Structure 1
């Protein structure tokens, strides 16, 4: 009987672990655009655009890619992903109206990537449903910083770092999928990419 229970527990653990690993990550492509322009839909689109760029800049990185850094004074690709994850928490926490607490959690590349994408998707969904994004302040202790700073701070900084990841992986011989179209937010449409990105 004990053997059957133990087998059942191991089977369930394996099934749950497989399901967790098969979660479909957001931002393979950009979500459809909103029918109307509001502060919330525009802010959400900024976060979605970051999610799309991060998805592809961080997709299928090898150990060689993750360890790469052009000099001793800069972050490796993995450290850059950790940094983007921490920035995604700031964006998410502002939409959840939560204080930012400096907690470091050791995570694998796969988990960091997945959680960053999920953080961005959750934040974008909250923004998309809102008419007043001024309520989403960045909170550090008793200090509340306006949403504006999310745009020029964590969101822009993360996009910058996605560009670094894209450059680093090209250097290591693992460039981003050439079918990615940043203009349309879709996979495919190389002609537009050539038109806008020479």
Structure 2
């Protein structure tokens, strides 16, 4: 009887650990808060602030996600949260490539990252892109294009499409993650204050 009790206890502890949030070393990740204000309202800083707002929202939307949250989908025809988060990772790479004036290669290579790696890369992509945009002059941004490379075929579109395309799309999908995690029983930390860019 004693051995059965010990087995049940060990199983319960193991299940509890597995069900808890998937840990990441959050102390090393950017965007737990938005630091201060830029020194001026130049265009590069305005774009940076938009990306910072996305980064803060993403950080907390994805904080302490469990496996059951990642596998959740609101309906049979919907993506799982994990699939939506992979799309967000790709969008963060698109935003970073735009900041670095690098082409977006199509088709994308297969992503074999763990969730922890993907979250870290997404946040760092956004942070690096925001920093690079903050250093761009108006002239730099006026001459920036979004470039695509598919084999020998190259194409470009105006920078404006970054704002109404990947940036707006990423904000939309972060909202989906917030909604999904609420539906899967793990709501967003109530201290999150997206207006101020730091937790209450």
TM-score, structure 1 as length reference: 0.82
Residue 25 and residue 156 in structure 1: after superposition, are their counterparts in 2 closer, same or farther (change >3 A)? same
Mark the CA change 1:105 to 1:67 in structure 2 (over 3 Å): closer, same or farther. same
Residue matched to 2:39: 35
Q: Deviations over 1:134-160 (max 9, x none)?
A: 333211122112221111101100100
1:182 shift after superposition: 0.6
* Gap runs ≥5 in structure 1: 1-19, 189-198
**Which residue pairs with 1:196 in the alignment?**
none
1:106-145 counterparts in 2 under 5 A?
A: 106-132=112-138, 133-141=141-149, 142-145=154-157
Name the residue aligned to 2:15. Answer: none
- Which ranges in structure 2 are unaligned for 5 or more consecutive residues? 1-23
> What does residue 83 of structure 2 align with?
79
Between 137-146 and 114-123, the greater mean CA deviation after superposition: 137-146
Q: Deviations over 1:82-141 (max 9, x none)?
A: 000000111100111111112222111111111000000000000111113233321112
Residue pair 1:44, 1:124 contacting (<8 A) in 2 also: yes
Decide whether the 8 Å contact of 1:91 with 1:120 is kept in 2.
yes
RMSD of aligned residue pairs (Cα, Å): 1.4
**Equivalent position SS for 2:28:** coil
Contact 1:31–1:48 at 8 Å: present in 2 too? no
| Higher mean C-alpha deviation, range 98-107 or range 152-161 | 98-107
What is the number of equivalent residue pairs in this alignment? Answer: 169
CA spacing shift, 1:115–1:177, aligned 2, 3 Å: same
Match of 1:6 in 2: none
4+ aligned runs moved over 4 Å, structure 1: 20-23
Q: Could you say what secondary structure the match of 1:126 adopts?
A: helix
